[in-house]
Amino acid sequence: MLRLHNMPIFAKVAAAPAILLIVLVGIGSGAFALLTTDALHVTALDQDVLRPQQKVAAFDTKLDTTMTSLYRLVSVAAEESDAPKITRMAHDAANDLKVVDDLSAALIAAVPEQSADGAALTEIQGHARQFTKAAALVVDMVDSDPGTALTMMSATARAYDETKHLVAGLASKFDILEEERIARLKSSMYTGRLAFAAAVVAVGMIAILLVIVIIRAVSAPIMALTRTLQDLTRQDYSVTVPGLHAKDELGTMARAVDGLRQTASLLEDLRRQQEAERQRTEQEKAAWLETMSWTVEREILTAIEQIRGDDPPVGASPDPSPGNGALTPECSAAGPRTVAVLENLAKVVRSFSREIY
C-alpha cells in the first residue's frame, strides 16, 4: 500500500485499465484452457469410443452384406445357368470377402487395448478368418458344384453367427463405454464451467477492489488538499496539510500548499501585531489627549475661580487707588465677559474629552 501511495499519478491512473486488461486476459486464458480441456476430452472420446464404434459398425454391416451376397450367389447358381452372371457375382463376393478381411484388421487396429481385452479381439479376428475361408470355398465351388456350395453355406453361416455374436458383444461394450465417457465429459464440462464462473467472479471482485483502491489513492489526497485549500481561504491557518510525506506529485503539491499556509500564517501574525500596535498607539494617544483636555479644563476652571474671586461684593464701591487690590473700571467691565469666554472654552474642552472616549 505504501508503494502504491508513492507511485506517480500517471502510474496510478494507468494501473486501473492495466489491471482490467490483465483480468480480461486471465479470463480469456481460462476460457481457452477450459475449451482446450473439453476439446481433449472430445478427442479422447472420438479416438477411444466413436471411431472404434464406427469400425465395428462398418465391419458388422459388411458382414451382413457379404453374407447376403453369398446367399444370392448360391441361390442364382442353383437356379440359373447364366455363367457370366454367376462369375460376376462370384467376383463381387470375393471382393466383399477381401473387404471383410481389411475391416477386420482395421477393427483390431482401431480398438484401443483399454477398451476391450486382447482375447476378445483375437477371438473376433479368428472367427472372421473362419468366415472368410468358408465363404471363399463357397465362392470357389459355386461355378463347378452349386449343390456342394449350398451345403458348405452351413459352415459359413455358423462362422458368421459366431462372429456376429462377438461383434455384438464388442459393440455393447462400446455403447456402455460411450455412455460412461459422455457422462464423465458432461460432469467435467459442468465442473469446469462452475470453476470458471467462480474464478471469473473472484477475479472480477479482486479487480474491482484494486481499482477502487487505486482510485481512492488518487482521489482521496486530491479531495483532502481541496478541503485544506478551502480552509486556507477562510483564513484558518491552523489546519494540517495531508500527504506531506508522499513521494508522488500529490506530495509535492501538499508541500507547496503547506509552504503557502506557513507564509500566510506569518503574514496574518504580522498583520495582527501591526493591528495591536496601532490600537495601542491610538489608546496612548487618546489617553494623552484626555490628560491634556482635563489639564486644560482644570486650568481654565482655576482661572475662572480666580477671576470670580477678584470681583467686588454686591453694593460695595471699588477702590480705584492702585495697590489696594480693587479692580479698575475697565477690569470690572471685562470680568464677566472673560468668565463667559472661559466657561465656553471649558465646555468645548469637556465635549472634546467626551468625544475621545
* Of 45, 171, 51, 170, nearest in space to 117 by CA: 170
Enumerate residues 6+ apart whose C-beta is below 8 A from 178. 45, 49, 50, 53
The number of beta carbons lying within 10 Å of the beta carbon of residue 271 is 10
pLDDT at 225: 85
Residue 135 has pLDDT above 70, yes or no: yes
Which amino acid, 352? F
The three cell numbers locating residue 47:
479416438
Whole-angstrom distance, CA of residue 242 vs CA of residue 217: 13
Average pLDDT, the chain: 79
Over residues 208-266, the pLDDT tens digits come to 887 788 777 777 888 888 888 888 888 888 888 887 877 777 788 888 988 888 888 88
Over residues 341-352, the pLDDT tens digits come to 666 766 766 666
Contact of 19 with 11, CB cutoff 8 Å: no
The three cell numbers locating residue 341:
469666554
pLDDT band at 314 (very low <50, low <70, confident <90, very high): very low
Q: Where are the domains of the chain?
A: 2-215, 249-312+320-356
Enumerate residues 6+ apart whose C-beta is below 8 A from 164. 60, 63
- Mean pLDDT within 30-47: 83
Residue 3 has pLDDT above 70, yes or no: no
pLDDT at 113: 54
pLDDT band at 66 (very low <50, low <70, confident <90, very high): very high
- Mean pLDDT within 80-101: 87
The number of beta carbons lying within 10 Å of the beta carbon of residue 123 is 16
Question: Which range has the top average pLDDT, 19-33, 152-166, 228-242?
Answer: 152-166
pLDDT at 321: 45
**Which of 103-117, 194-208, 295-309 shows the lowest per-residue confidence on average (mean pLDDT)?**
103-117
Taking CA 48 as the corner, what is the angle to CA 47 and CA 49, rounded to the nearest 5 degrees? 100
- Mean pLDDT within 333-339: 60
The three cell numbers locating residue 355:
468625544
pLDDT band at 61 (very low <50, low <70, confident <90, very high): very high
**Which of 100-109, 159-168, 302-311 shows the lowest per-residue confidence on average (mean pLDDT)?**
302-311
Enumerate residues 6+ apart whose C-beta is below 8 A from 327. 310, 311, 312, 318, 335
**Which of 125-134, 150-159, 162-171, 305-314 shows the lowest per-residue confidence on average (mean pLDDT)?**
305-314
pLDDT band at 357 (very low <50, low <70, confident <90, very high): low
Contact of 112 with 70, CB cutoff 8 Å: no
pLDDT at 118: 61
pLDDT at 84: 86
